[in-house]
Chain A
């Protein structure tokens, strides 16, 4: 019985291993799809930018300043900072900007209601009058062309939401930030772009992202009961026939957590929210008509991605138990499977990160690859803990709690790196 369970773990690991390799090899050698990134002249649609802000006094000024400087027709851009029950100086900073730039910023101060980003955005949608809504977290710093890059895919009537690329700005601060930089590279440069290339399910990530308001209306708006409104939205849009597209060149700086406890809380929230979506949508993804086979397969595997943490831990436990209990694993297939599980399975994600570093023309940062095992171990334990808590919470009658990611910025945003493309182009 335990051997069969172990075999199942190995099979699941192999499936996700194959998935990682498919993505990485496609990204390295496949045809790359960037169909919307060339749109640079157009009758640009009116867009509203929502900035989700809960106690963001350290960062809110930087994003508002950056948004006021973007290259987008002023009369077609509405900026709405969503001040969600902040108790620090966020409100004052926003109001100061409103006063300094009359007519450019429309603040939304929320003093009550359900906590959480989805609930705040849901309330803020009452103020939105445009067909396109872009969403940023307050710690992001958009570049001048970013709004155009995020708005461009909406010329495709099939696109319901768009996701840009997140690039950490505080890379050099700590070991954690350096590891998260590599992890983000793998997640966006390889994972998301490969999904775009292969016609799979790129994920709406909830920030540096956009959504078509009629698509949002059609699926019933933001779900304030979820901890990962982004994953939830990705699947509801998919099931309603809308496409989510990824714009790898719509890059935006963000601040990643600098302290391990903050990172653990962040990933636990993501895991819990993602698992909520897994319970809600895995059946529908397999059965709902209108999805392509690729979307069905990738959508299904993506839903279970955070469950692979506890599954791997279970596999390790079983391997040790079976070894010391003297279980007979005498077939060559089992030995091969075990070898595959312990080597290839565990290294696929690292191969993905290394490929991403290569694609980003990183020089020495890829040398940190062996240390990403540390981040991997912390994530593994955190997502497993989140899964167990989720199973136990209903029994203990605990409610899911929204944990806001703590900001570390203590000064003005660092100067962005020099645009190498332009420098090289000048020769």
Chain B
């Protein structure tokens, strides 16, 4: 009996001490979560979703064609194929597969992905889950794309369209006032007011390639950086304060500023532009390299970023493009992107 009590105490203490270790020992023995953490191994190409969906669509177009050879557009839903009826205000369940050009009604909701082997013309206020058009894609006013959109040709969005995920085109993406976006990529991303405003880019690379984006030994300024109107500065600059580039000035290098950056009318930066605060690009200015802001980027009409020969990236939590602004490459708004009215 005298031995039993200490033993019982010892056992109880041991059990209590071991209790927190039980889940650990269980996991160690069974190794249910012992694989390496998944990391990105792909090339992060914006077209990846489209490529996978294209392969899927072609297989099902072929199979569906065996059942409905006379039909140009099919719905594939729960393992079955059926005719697509193009009625206004209808909700379409299943993947829509079209082997020719397709013109859609208005007010339609597509709860699954849409594939069009030709040109797609969407009616107003349609809602799409994902869209892949092998040629041009034109979406009507007030339409929404919930996940991704890719066009083998160009994309044209009517006023007030909303792109909630990725959008890409092999050539041009046209956005009209009121459009919102997150991540876009095309050789040309142009905010326009109407068809007449479509115009080619003015600028071409100034130095014919090379490592202009990465320059040696930047100038460091404790205060603000001011480049007077018409002046030219050679070399990269790091400013602890604000930066102001006067009208028609030119910076041959990269610029980093810890305050607000204002690039005035017709000013040019031949490298990258990085700001921890907001960046304002005035009318007809030009930035050749990437533009990164940790707050917002406001691009005025006529401003151009990158060139068709040298695609680049513009990225910030908030981006506002005025009609007439052109970006060559990627536009990535982390929180909100919009085309101003």
A315, B35: Cα distance in complex, Å = 38
Shortest C-beta distance, B306 to chain A (Å), equals 8
- Distance, CA A363 to CA B34, complexed state (A): 10
A359 to chain B, nearest CB (A): 11
Q: Which residues of B contact A421 (CB under 8 A)?
A: 38, 40
B147 within 8 Å of A by Cβ?
yes
Interface centre among A33, A169, A364, A370 (most CB of B within 10 A): A364
A71 at the interface (CB under 8 A from B): yes
**B332 in the interface, Cβ–Cβ < 8 Å?**
yes
Distance in Å: Cβ of B23 to nearest Cβ of chain A: 4
Judging by beta carbons under 8 Å apart, are B209 and A157 in contact? no
- Please state if B33 and A365 are interface contacts (CB–CB under 8 Å): yes
| Residues A156 and B42 in contact, CB atoms below 8 Å apart | no
Docked-complex contact A154 and B214, CB < 8 angstroms: yes
Indicate if A376 sits at the interface (CB-CB under 8 A): no
How long is the Cα–Cα vector from A175 to B21 in the complex, in angstroms?
Answer: 14
B40 CB to nearest chain A CB (Å): 6
Supposing A155-B274, A371-B28 touch, asked if A71 and B43 sit within 8 A by C-beta, the answer is yes
How many residues from B make CB contacts under 8 Å with A?
A: 68
**In whole angstroms, how far apart are the Cα atoms of A150 and B45 in the complex?**
16
Contact check, B214 vs A40: say whether CB atoms are below 8 A apart: no
Query: In whole angstroms, how far apart are the Cα atoms of A425 and B49 in the complex?
Result: 8
Interfacial chain B residues near A368, Cβ < 8 Å: 24, 27-28
Any B CB within 8 A of the CB of A308 = no
Minimal beta-carbon separation of A172 from chain B (angstroms) = 3
Q: Mark A161-192, 1 if CB is under 8 A from B, else 0.
A: 00000011111100100100100010000000
Contact residue range for chain A? 35 or more
- C-alpha spacing A426/B166, complex, angstroms: 13
**Are B34 and A132 interface neighbours, CB within 8 A?**
no
A174 CB to nearest B CB, Å: 10
Given the complex of chains A and B, what is the CA–CA distance between A157 and B255 in angstroms?
Answer: 7
Q: Are A145 and B43 in contact (CB under 8 A)?
A: yes
The residue on B at minimum CB distance from A46 is B211
CB-CB under 8 A from B334, the residues of chain A are 38
Question: In the bound complex, what is the Cα–Cα distance between A364 and B34 (angstroms)?
Answer: 8
CA distance A425 to B254 in the complex (A): 35
* CB proximity of B3 to chain A, nearest CB, Å: 29
B266, CB-defined interface residue at 8 Å: no
Which residue of A42, A156, A241, A421 has the most chain B CB atoms within 10 A of its CB atom? A156
Q: Are B217 and A367 in contact (CB under 8 A)?
A: no
- Residues of B contacting A130 in the complex (Cβ-Cβ under 8 angstroms): 211
A143:B40 contact, CB within 8 angstroms: yes
Distance in angstroms between the alpha carbons of A175 and B292 in the assembled complex: 43
Chain B nearest CB, measured from A409 CB (Å): 13
A217 to B288 alpha-carbon distance, docked (Å):
27
Q: Are B37 and A362 in contact, CB atoms less than 8 angstroms apart?
A: yes
Known contacts A38-B330, A371-B24: does B185 contact A155 (CB below 8 Å)?
Answer: no
Evaluate contact between B41 and A39: CB separation under 8 angstroms: no
Task: Tell whether A251 is near chain B: CB-to-CB under 8 Å.
Answer: yes
Could you tell me the distance between the alpha carbons of A168 and B35 in the complex, rounded to whole angstroms? 10
Cβ B313 vs Cβ A364 within 8 A:
no
Q: Nearest residue in B to A45 (C-beta to C-beta)? A: B214
* Residue from B214, B220, B306 within 8 A of A132 (CB atoms): B214
The CA-CA distance from A39 to B242 in the complex, in Å, is 23
Provide a sorted-by-A list of 5 A–B residue pairs whose CB atoms are within 8 angstroms. A42-B311, A145-B43, A167-B37, A367-B26, A425-B148
Residue ranges of A at the interface with B (Cβ–Cβ < 8 Å): 33, 35-36, 38-46, 71, 130-132, 143-145, 148, 152, 154-158, 167-172, 175, 178, 181, 185, 212, 214, 218, 241, 249, 251-253, 360, 362-365, 367-371, 414, 416-422, 425-427
The 10 closest A-B pairs by CB, nearest first: A172-B34, A41-B329, A364-B33, A38-B315, A71-B43, A251-B39, A417-B38, A157-B236, A367-B23, A155-B272
Interface residues in chain B, defined as those with a beta carbon under 8 Å from any beta carbon in chain A? 20-21, 23-24, 26-28, 31-46, 48-49, 52-53, 129, 147-148, 183, 185, 205, 209, 211-218, 220, 236-238, 253-256, 271-272, 274, 288-290, 292, 294, 306, 310-313, 315, 329-330, 332, 334
